[in-house]
Structure 1
Amino acid sequence: MSEIKRAVIYARFSSDMQREESIEVQVRACKEYCRKKRYVVTNVYVDEAKSARDVLTRDAYNQMLADAISHQFDVIIFHKIDRNARNEFNYYTFKHTLSTLGIGHEYAAQNIDFSPEGQMMESMLVGFAAYYSRNLAKETKKGLNENAYKAQFNGGRPPLGYKIVDKKYVIEPTEAEAVKLIFEMYLAGHGYGIIAHTLAAKGFKTRDGRNFGKNSLYDILGNEKYTGL
């Protein structure tokens, strides 16, 4: 009778066209795979809203590698290759590390074995995952550039004095008065301390409801969006 393998499951979802529910789908498929293989699942590692391009930002992934070094399990189960990595260097570095430790890795939804054909399929799927990631980044940047050309909102927090209406920057009158005063006083040669004191005396507050300080004034005066960029 063969020795029962200790398996762990790794699941991840990123923000690109995925939802948090996809974690449940991945884990369910991996558990069913382990049941059929008669593996004993000892842990489930989950990274939520994390990119596969940079493994350094994935806390659960890195904890899993640390546990692998201490030989806490025998095999890692992923749903698909793109849940592991979308970068060839990261993928094959990870594979080499596991091989050195004598730990296996398998995919619940992709039948990849150690035959020449299986290894060729693995290489192709790794390449497809890397291509998808890079193309997605390119298309996202293209969309952001197009929004910028149209002077549309590109995400983040609009600067003080503006609000967003139908993806367009619209002046927020009360905040705009504070911004105008800041620039007028700075151009007149007043320092940050005097400007902050004047704003407080007139009842102006930051968007967070605080008095203006040197850092907030510095950020406003250095924000290129106020020049129309």
Structure 2
Amino acid sequence: MKSCFGYIRVSTQKQGEGVSLDAQKTAITAFASQNDLTVIKWFEEKQTAAKGGRPIFNQMLRQLRKHAAKGVIIHKIDRAARNARDWVMFAELPDIGIDVYVATESLDFRSRGGRLTAEIQAVIAADYIRNLREETIKGLNGRLGQGLYPFRAPIGYLDNGRGNPKTPDPLKAHLIREMFDLYASGRHSLRTLQAEITRRGLRNLNGRPLTLHGVETILNNSFYTGVITIARTGASYDGVHDPIIPAKLFHRVQDIKSGRSGPKCTRHNHLFQGLFRCGLCRGPMSPELQKGRCYYRCQRRGCPTATIREDRLEDAIRFRLGQLQIKPSAAKKLETAWMSKGAETATEDMAKALRLQIADEEARLERLTDLLLDSTIDRNTYRERQRSGKLRLVELRDELEKLPNAEKIAQRRRDFLELVKTLCLLYENANLAEKREIVENAFSNRLVAGKYVDLQPYKWLVSHDSASSVLECDPERHRDTDLPGVTAGVQNLELILNLKNRAIDDDKPLCRLTSGVPA
């Protein structure tokens, strides 16, 4: 009896769990017994033949070239190869004395006609897989165009079958939100975030702790904001699934990851790490410990800016916050003037401003497509700008849905007045992390030139005369900030008010106000 190898294959691991491999083995065994052949070794593979590089298939060819067997039996032509390169290597076996048998076909590879028939079938198999690929891509693009994600749900979402959107996982969705919030705080690096989120119980799809790469993948995935981005092509689509995080939080995380928005966690966690820059050369003021005190120094060679102590920076911050506070009498007059204005008009103005921005962003995306068609920009630039534009649209639409009513606007005005009356006290009453947030959201430019500290507040904090427009979401976005939203003033105000509310909830003792002086 002639010794032969038996080769069986399925395209995926899932198919391998079914009956396909057993059916192929049964057919080959029956063919061998009918033709006086003996299968001395089986080669089983669970990988597509559309591309080359199959390890088991290549291992079998190497052994056949060494004449470890006198022939090979396959179930069908397409089990051996669906691409021209692998078929050429397989079809050369008869030339070196290796017999090729097909269990379901009566093909004689020793004859010219038999080999021609086999090669025609191989070409048809290759064309079939190319057509199947095109139809599959067409179907996937159709699903994506409908806002559906046709792949496995990312961590934090659940699959609901074909044609249905993903839904947030009740066990993991809140952990994904916490993960973004932790990183957006600026107090975590990717490594410390990985340790913290693992401690809180977030696991990957296989039930294992997240790797560092897994953490970064989640933070880069716009799917959590409602925008589907295909990594291979860079194309973006509007998803119909419920988002887990707001778009502005996603933007904040991307800014921190790219180094545009403050530092990550450091070993000493200095109070003003990454907040101040040199006013002469615009280089970062880096902290260093000397004899138990923290100093901030410009690290660029030749820069005349000397070091400045951390406590001197704090004195300057207290002094500047004290200057920005308004007296109770002025606050009362401002409150009377505000309350005489209708809050309903403010809501209408906010909605109108947001709709205009949404229309502008949609028009910009249309022009972007025209630029691509005119070859003014390349496809990579188009994909990047398209993703950014869709995220911006999600952010604006989210703000439009969450517009405050008249009662909330009135309360926001009162909160603003309380805030600007007690800025210095709020800073004194905060912990280190909260002090950083106050400084970041109160001052747009934080410079040190020599011994002079320049703290330029955001417009929302100094425009007391026009503060009503700030609180009512002035249609124009401030230029002195990179925070997303209709107005930076509203965002910064809410951040600092949250700190104030936390201080009240924690019932912290009031600290004595320090009369600061410029450094």
| TM class by smaller structure | 0.7 to 0.9
Within the alignment, does 1:189 sit opposite 2:186 as a pair? yes
Corresponding letter in the other structure for 2:148:
Q
Partner of 1:53: 50
CA, structure 1 residues 6+196, in 2 after alignment: closer, same or farther (shift >3 Å)?
closer
Aligned counterparts of 1:18 and 1:82: Cα–Cα separation in 2 = 16
Corresponding letter in the other structure for 2:102:
Y
Partner of 1:80: 76
Write the deviation string for residues 36-86 of structure 1: whole angstroms up to 9, x where unpaired: 222232222222x32112342342x23322321331211111111011101
SS in 2 for 1:168: coil
Match of 2:140 among 139, 144, 162: 144
Match of 1:177 among 174, 178, 181: 174
- Whether contact under 8 Å (1:153, 1:164) holds in the other structure is no
Corresponding letter in the other structure for 1:54:
K
- Whether contact under 8 Å (2:82, 2:125) holds in the other structure is yes
Within the alignment, does 1:118 sit opposite 2:142 as a pair? no
SS in 2 for 1:143: helix
Structure 1 residue 224: deviation in Å?
Answer: 2.5
CA, structure 1 residues 179+15, in 2 after alignment: closer, same or farther (shift >3 Å)?
closer
Partner of 1:38: 36
CA, structure 1 residues 176+128, in 2 after alignment: closer, same or farther (shift >3 Å)?
same
Aligned counterparts of 1:117 and 1:16: Cα–Cα separation in 2 = 36
Give the TM-score normalised by structure 1: 0.79
Aligned counterparts of 1:58 and 1:219: Cα–Cα separation in 2 = 29
- Whether contact under 8 Å (1:76, 1:106) holds in the other structure is yes
Corresponding letter in the other structure for 2:74:
F
Match of 1:108 among 99, 103, 109: 103
CA, structure 1 residues 187+69, in 2 after alignment: closer, same or farther (shift >3 Å)?
same
Corresponding letter in the other structure for 1:13:
V
Aligned counterparts of 1:32 and 1:198: Cα–Cα separation in 2 = 59
Q: Where in structure 2 are there 5+ consecutive unaligned residues?
A: 229-519
- Whether contact under 8 Å (2:4, 2:71) holds in the other structure is yes
- Whether contact under 8 Å (2:148, 2:165) holds in the other structure is yes
> Percent identity over the alignment?
27
SS in 1 for 2:73: strand
Structure 1, 165-174 or 130-139: larger mean CA deviation: 165-174
Structure 1 residue 198: deviation in Å?
Answer: 6.4
Within the alignment, does 1:154 sit opposite 2:150 as a pair? yes
SS in 2 for 1:56: coil
CA, structure 1 residues 183+45, in 2 after alignment: closer, same or farther (shift >3 Å)?
closer
- Whether contact under 8 Å (1:158, 1:164) holds in the other structure is no
Partner of 1:24: 22
Structure 1 residue 151: deviation in Å?
Answer: 2.6
Aligned counterparts of 2:212 and 2:94: Cα–Cα separation in 1 = 54
Partner of 1:165: 160
Give the TM-score normalised by structure 2: 0.38
Aligned counterparts of 2:49 and 2:128: Cα–Cα separation in 1 = 11
Corresponding letter in the other structure for 1:105:
V
How many residue pairs are counted as aligned between the two chains? 220
- RCO (CA 8 Å, sep 6+): is it higher in 1 or 2? 1
Q: Where in structure 1 are there 5+ consecutive unaligned residues?
A: none
Write the deviation string for residues 155-212 of structure 1: whole angstroms up to 9, x where unpaired: 324233x223353122235533333333344344333266567657xx7321357777
- Whether contact under 8 Å (1:205, 1:212) holds in the other structure is no
SS in 2 for 1:122: helix
CA, structure 1 residues 27+152, in 2 after alignment: closer, same or farther (shift >3 Å)?
same
Corresponding letter in the other structure for 1:182:
M
- Whether contact under 8 Å (2:73, 2:103) holds in the other structure is yes
Aligned counterparts of 2:76 and 2:215: Cα–Cα separation in 1 = 49
